[in-house]
Amino acid sequence: MKYAKTLFAAATVAAVLSAVPAAFAADEYNVSIGTTLSGAGVAARGDDVVALATGGKVTPGLAKFTVEHDGVAYYFSSEETMKTFAADPEKYMPQYGGFCAFGVAIGKKLDASNRYADLVDGKLYVFLNAVAFAKYEEDKSGTLAKAEENWPGMHHVAVEKVNGLGS
């Protein structure tokens, strides 16, 4: 049984990772993660995390509406969403540092696309691509439980590059 689980896990990882090039090619929001003038990295590919966490809609942020939190810059689409975030950043920040929740669950630190997001118990989770999101949907609670277990040991691990992609 352990051997079968290992084969299944390997097949799942292969399926998720093999879909990376197609998912990124189709992702109109796939921009390089840049830095601000202060040197802070830009979170969530520059998208407005308040809009994503409250309406599930990917909304590009603007540099003129920026909040730096824990050394990371968050861009917002309006002054209103910027102020909302500033009042309670933890409420709107994507879990696992904005990395793919399914990836964290299988022990891989992977980039994520805001196009594949879910809100569970008021927390925002983002995913690498449609394949990773579909695998997550098969067992949401199990995936998130495993990700919670894995994240403390992965927090400071480098992002894995997949076919030359990654942060």
Tell me the per-residue pLDDT of 151-166, one tens digit each, with 9 for 90 and over: 999 978 878 766 544 4
Per-residue buried b or exposed e for 126-145, using 16+ beta carbons within 10 Å of the residue's own CB: bbbbbbbbebbeeeeeebbe
Query: How high is the pLDDT of residue 55?
Result: 84
Please, what is the average pLDDT of the chain? 80
Amino acid type, 7: L
pLDDT at 38: 57
Look at residue 114 and give its three-state secondary structure.
Answer: strand
**In the prediction, which pLDDT does 40 show?**
63
- Of the listed ranges 44-48, 102-106, 135-139, the least confidently predicted one is 44-48
More confident of the two residues 113 and 12? 113
* List of residues 6+ apart from 142 with CB closer than 8 A: none
pLDDT at 106 over 70: yes
Return the bridge partners of 42, or none: 73
Q: Is the whole-model pTM more than 0.85?
A: no
